[in-house]
């Protein structure tokens, strides 16, 4: 099962970058892992994410909607089972963040997850990398802006600029 897990994670990473074949392989890998170990919440979360990615890649609008909603339902269910799991919250945060707000209304959920992740990092800097922390700050600002919460976006981006001098973020924020 370890090999299947490694294949699933690698394919999921490629799927996030748009590789449609990798999306299918990630989905099949995590579907099999979940079947073998139904209590593995992280595998179920990856399955939810991969299901949403299958929806992203579908050309049939009805199937696209069905798969994305199914993936979101799975992710929400897993977060309820394991609210403190950073990987699960990260998966749900970025699925919600990357969906069009006007159709799915998931940006507020992404904000909730981003805020949770930031709080965890600020309590324990070892939970994930500093670069991931910076990315979450940046994306939380984008999410706030998307929701029309301009002042909160500016405050988060100011915080980001205080903790990093990475020019990538300065350029992004200027845009």
Q: Is the pTM of this model over 0.85?
A: yes
In a domain, 94, yes or no: no
pLDDT at 169: 85
Query: What are the CA-CA distances from residue 114 to residues 1, 58, 69, 88, 151 (Å)?
Result: 31, 27, 20, 12, 17
Residues 75, 79, 84, 89, CA torsion sign: positive
pLDDT at 123: 97
Residues 6+ apart with CB under 8 A from 80: none
Same domain? For 126 and 169 the reply is: yes
Of the candidate ranges 37-41, 44-48, 70-74, 169-173, the one whose mean pLDDT is the lowest:
169-173
- The angle, 0 to 180 degrees and rounded to 10, between the axes of the packed helices 167-174 and 130-146 is 0
Same domain? For 76 and 115 the reply is: no
Q: Residue 78: which domain range?
A: 1-82
Q: Up-side HSE of residue 19: CA atoms within 13 Å toward CB?
A: 12
pLDDT above 90 for 174: no
What is the pLDDT confidence band of residue 168, given thresholds at 50, 70 and 90? confident
pLDDT above 90 for 100: yes
């Amino acid at each position: 099962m370890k090999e299947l897990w490694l294949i699933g994670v690698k394919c999921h990473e490629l799927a996030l970058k748009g590789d449609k074949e990798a999306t299918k392989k990630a989905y099949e890998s995590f579907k099999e892992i979940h079947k073998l170990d139904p209590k593995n919440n992280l595998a179920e979360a990856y399955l939810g994410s991969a299901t949403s990615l299958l929806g992203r890649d579908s050309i049939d609008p009805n199937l696209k909607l069905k798969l994305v909603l199914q993936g979101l339902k799975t992710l929400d269910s897993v977060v309820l089972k394991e609210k403190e799991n950073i990987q699960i919250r990260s998966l749900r945060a970025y699925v919600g963040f990357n969906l069009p707000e006007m159709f799915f209304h998931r940006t507020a959920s992404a904000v909730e997850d981003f805020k949770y992740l930031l709080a965890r990092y600020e309590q324990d800097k070892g939970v994930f990398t500093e670069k991931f922390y910076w990315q979450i700050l940046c994306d939380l600002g984008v999410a706030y802006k998307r929701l029309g919460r301009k002042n909160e976006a500016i405050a988060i981006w100011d915080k980001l600029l205080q903790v990093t001098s990475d020019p990538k973020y300065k350029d992004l924020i200027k845009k």
